[in-house]
Amino acid sequence: LHFSSEKLGDIQHTKLATSSPVAKKRKQPKRKISPFLLCALLMIFCTCAHFLTHRQDLGNLETADTENQDASSASLNPRYVTVVLPSVVNEGGRFKRLRSIDETWGQAANAIYVYHPGKEYTPTSSSKSSYPQTMLVPSEVAAEDEGVPRLKYVIEQIYHKYNPDFAFFGNDHTYVIPQHACDFLKGKNPNENMYAGHPMKPGGEDFAFNSGASGYFLSRETMRFLTKRWSEKEDICEGNTAKNKKWLQGNPGMLTAKCLASIGLNPIDSRDELKRHKFHAFGLLRVVKGEVDQWYERRHEGLNEILGEDAKFNHKLQKGENCCSDRSISFHYVEWKETLAL
């Protein structure tokens, strides 16, 4: 720029010299770069440097966060996987929902599609990532009334075969925001117990569970504990002490929660600093408008005893713009067109 200014000055000086006698006696001042131009150049340089230093390829989100976990697992295991179980709502639309997940968040969230015999699905392949992947459930646990053994099989497979730091369990009606999931896991240790999602409390019970619709995280240590208890045939973890075993088969996540509660492991309060939820069991519009089912609202009563005192909200749902954290991780009842739009 300095060179250009000098040349420009020479040209202007020559023109003035040939057109005005006064100009011959006047010394042409040296051109200087505008301070505003210098500031602009500096800002552009800093912005480019920041981008090049901090940019993150979504296809590499499976890489472990080496600052927050043991070095032994840093390069061997994905930071987390997302287990996509079959939704029991609108089963005929499952393939379209899976295809929309392929095209949006599936790869970045390391999705694993669980499917039953005869209902195979082939994910859209990508050269950047080995995800999404699929997991076939054996026919002996694929029946509708085999919910508990099916969930046990899936968790055991995730723990032994994939061995991630954390696993997020949802279904094909769940919409996931991978960047926010990674942000949530930052600083969390996979070798410590963690059961995180959207906590609720069954009426008349002394334990809490995380909504299966909104999805929930289990740490590697928690999956290790569950698989150990199941191998030992522990009654409370097998559902042998349940009053309504048939109902439990349709709600196997409740058994997982009760098994974890037997060692004092309860869901954590996963809300943000403004007490806004990050995991949502309904779609975005219904959550914002507060148009959720009454049974869902009632399940937020009595959580002070388990999650700790919340003097302002008592763990009740908020509405409007305060319904959802700006770092929300999941929404539910999201069909394929809405997934593409989100």
* pTM of the shown model: 0.77
Query: Which of the pair, 205 or 104, is modelled with greater confidence?
Result: 104
The SS3 assignment for 332 reads: coil
The pLDDT of residue 246 is: 81
Give the pLDDT mean for 29-44.
54
DSSP, res 307: H
Do residues 325 and 276 make contact, with C-beta atoms less than 8 angstroms apart?
yes
Query: Which of the pair, 255 or 1, is modelled with greater confidence?
Result: 255
Q: What is the pLDDT of residues 124-136, one digit of tens each?
A: 866 677 899 999 9
The pLDDT of residue 10 is: 47
Which of 24-28, 228-232, 238-242, 315-319 shows the lowest mean pLDDT across its residues? 24-28
The answer on pLDDT for 149 being more than 70 is yes
Give the pLDDT mean for 26-40.
54
| Alpha carbon 152 to chain centroid, angstroms | 22
- Whole-angstrom Cα distance, residue 242 to residue 51? 55
Quote the mean pLDDT of the chain.
Answer: 82
The pLDDT of residue 144 is: 77
The answer on pLDDT for 67 being more than 60 is no
The pLDDT of residue 34 is: 61
The answer on pLDDT for 19 being more than 60 is no
Q: What is the pLDDT of residues 225-280, one digit of tens each?
A: 999 999 999 888 988 777 777 888 888 899 899 999 999 999 999 999 999 999 99
The pLDDT of residue 243 is: 72
Q: What is the pLDDT of residues 45-60, one digit of tens each?
A: 544 444 334 333 443 4
Do residues 24 and 18 make contact, with C-beta atoms less than 8 angstroms apart?
no
The pLDDT of residue 208 is: 96
Do residues 5 and 32 make contact, with C-beta atoms less than 8 angstroms apart?
yes
- Amino acid identity of residue 328, one-letter, is S
The answer on pLDDT for 99 being more than 50 is yes
The answer on pLDDT for 95 being more than 80 is yes
User: Where on the phi/psi map is residue 290: left (φ > 0), alpha (ψ -120 to 50), or beta?
Assistant: left
The pLDDT of residue 77 is: 75
Q: Which of 10, 11, 5 is nearest to 33 (CA)?
A: 5
The pLDDT of residue 190 is: 97
- Amino acid identity of residue 306, one-letter, is I
- Whole-angstrom Cα distance, residue 151 to residue 158? 11
Q: What is the pLDDT of residues 138-147, one digit of tens each?
A: 999 888 778 8
- For 77, 217, 229, 231, the CA distances from 163, given in Å and listed in that order, are 6, 14, 18, 18
Confidence of residue 36 (pLDDT cuts 50, 70, 90): low
The pLDDT of residue 273 is: 95
The answer on pLDDT for 75 being more than 50 is no
DSSP, res 324: B
The pLDDT of residue 283 is: 95
The pLDDT of residue 230 is: 93
The SS3 assignment for 246 reads: helix
Q: What is the pLDDT of residues 167-225, one digit of tens each?
A: 999 999 999 999 999 999 999 999 999 999 999 999 888 899 999 999 999 999 999 99
DSSP states of 237-302: HHTTT-S-HHHHHH-HHHHHHHHHHTTT--------TTS-BSB-SS-HHHHHHT---HHHHHTTTT
- Whole-angstrom Cα distance, residue 42 to residue 31? 20
Q: What are phi and psi of 269, to 5 degrees?
A: -75, 105
- For 130, 184, 191, 220, 274, the CA distances from 110, given in Å and listed in that order, are 8, 16, 20, 16, 29
- Whole-angstrom Cα distance, residue 208 to residue 205? 8
Query: Which of the pair, 95 or 33, is modelled with greater confidence?
Result: 95
Query: Which of the pair, 4 or 287, is modelled with greater confidence?
Result: 287
- For 147, 214, 265, 287, the CA distances from 91, given in Å and listed in that order, are 16, 18, 33, 23
The pLDDT of residue 125 is: 67
The answer on pLDDT for 320 being more than 70 is yes
Percent residues over pLDDT 70 in the chain: 77
Do residues 202 and 295 make contact, with C-beta atoms less than 8 angstroms apart?
no
The beta-strand segments (E) located in 207-333 are 209-210, 216-219, 330-331
